């Protein structure tokens, strides 16, 4: 079983739609969680950290479910510019992060 698993997608949604991705992780001792965004042929960029109580940044909401060992990312009012691959990242070993293979999102006009 992979340490971090994501549905590769693609998720094809119209502008203005709400879309959600989940990511499951294998190690119950995981300590920190992040969502990164990666545009085609570019480096990943930090989108948001995921806190135990859940957190929101504008149209983006991240949540953590420790009991079921998954994190989620919700995007409201999707924009064309949200089209990218979203990487789930989990840390349970100091200085070592584990990356999911990403979920591709296509937002259509």
User: By the criterion CB under 8 A, which residues form the site for other proteins?
Assistant: 4, 8, 31-32, 34, 36, 41-46, 49, 87, 89, 91, 94-102
Nearer to other proteins, 17 or 55 (CB): 55
CB 32 within 8 A of CB 48: no
Q: How far is CA 30 from the centre of its chain?
A: 16
Q: Which residues contact 37 (CB under 8 A, 6 or more apart)?
A: 44, 45, 47, 84, 85, 86, 87
Nearer to other proteins, 4 or 75 (CB): 4
Nearer to other proteins, 9 or 17 (CB): 9
Minimum distance of other proteins from residue 18's CB (angstroms): 25
Minimum distance of other proteins from residue 95's CB (angstroms): 6
Minimum distance of other proteins from residue 29's CB (angstroms): 13
DSSP string spanning 18-56?
Answer: -EEEEEEES-TT--EEEEEEE-TTS-EEEEEEE-TT-EE
Nearer to other proteins, 48 or 75 (CB): 48
């Amino acid at each position: 079983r992979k340490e971090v698993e994501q549905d590769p997608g693609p998720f094809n949604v119209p502008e203005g739609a709400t879309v959600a991705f989940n990511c499951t992780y294998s190690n119950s001792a995981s300590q920190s969680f992040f969502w990164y965004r990666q545009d085609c042929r570019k480096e990943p960029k930090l989108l948001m950290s995921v806190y135990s109580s859940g957190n929101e940044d504008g149209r983006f909401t991240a949540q953590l479910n420790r009991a079921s060992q998954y994190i989620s990312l919700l995007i409201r009012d999707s924009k064309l510019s949200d089209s990218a691959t979203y990487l789930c990242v989990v840390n349970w070993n100091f200085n070592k992060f584990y990356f999911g293979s990403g979920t591709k999102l296509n937002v259509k006009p």
